[in-house]
Amino acid sequence: MPLPRRRARAALAAIAVLALTAGCGTDDSGTAAPASTTSAAAGVPTSRQATEPSTITVRVDDMAFSPAELRVRVGDTVTWEFADSAAHSVQGIGDRAMGINSPILNKGSWSYTFIAPGNYRYLCSLHPEMRGAVVVE
Ligand SMILES: [Cu+2]
């Protein structure tokens, strides 16, 4: 009589193993969720392309910089176009803006690329009342 009971237990154990294997199958479908997260991360380079560096022009005319203030992003270039009858320059104020230092011009243009975020102020070395600012984000 003990032998049939053992066989019955063995059969029950086999059923239990099958049930556990089926349970593992549901776990496998659960691992599909991180795969969709990976495809979402692949979209990151696309959003970076949307913020490619650009060039912003500031006119130097009529004894003024216009626009006198502007906001740019890191990597953007600002080009000052000199179009006044008088000669002017673009000279940064303070250590942070030390690289902003154009020659004195009354024609043509001068460009500067902003590589660090911050608040940059500048003036014309010949007419210190002519002032401008660039906020780099
Ligand atoms: Cu000037």
What is the domain partition of the chain in residue ranges? 2-49, 55-136
Cα(36) to centroid of ligand 1, in Å? Answer: 57
Do the strands 109-113 and 69-72 form a parallel or antiparallel pair, or are they unpaired?
Answer: unpaired
Q: Give me the pLDDT at residue 20, please.
A: 42
Tell the CATH topology of 55-136.
Immunoglobulin-like (2.60.40)
Q: What is the pTM of this model?
A: 0.64
Helix (H, G, I), strand (E, B) or coil at 136: strand
Cα(134) to centroid of ligand 1, in Å? Answer: 18
Helix (H, G, I), strand (E, B) or coil at 132: strand
Peptide bond into 67 cis (omega under 30): yes
Cα(99) to centroid of ligand 1, in Å? Answer: 18
Q: Give me the pLDDT at residue 97, please.
A: 95
Q: Give me the pLDDT at residue 4, please.
A: 53
Task: Give the pair of three-digit tokens for residue 36.
Answer: 């969709």
Neighbours of 77 (CB within 10 A): 14
Q: What is the pLDDT along the chain (137 residues), one digit of tens a residue?
A: 454 555 545 444 444 444 444 444 444 444 444 443 334 444 444 444 557 999 999 999 999 999 999 999 999 999 999 999 999 999 999 999 999 999 999 999 999 999 999 999 999 999 999 999 999 99
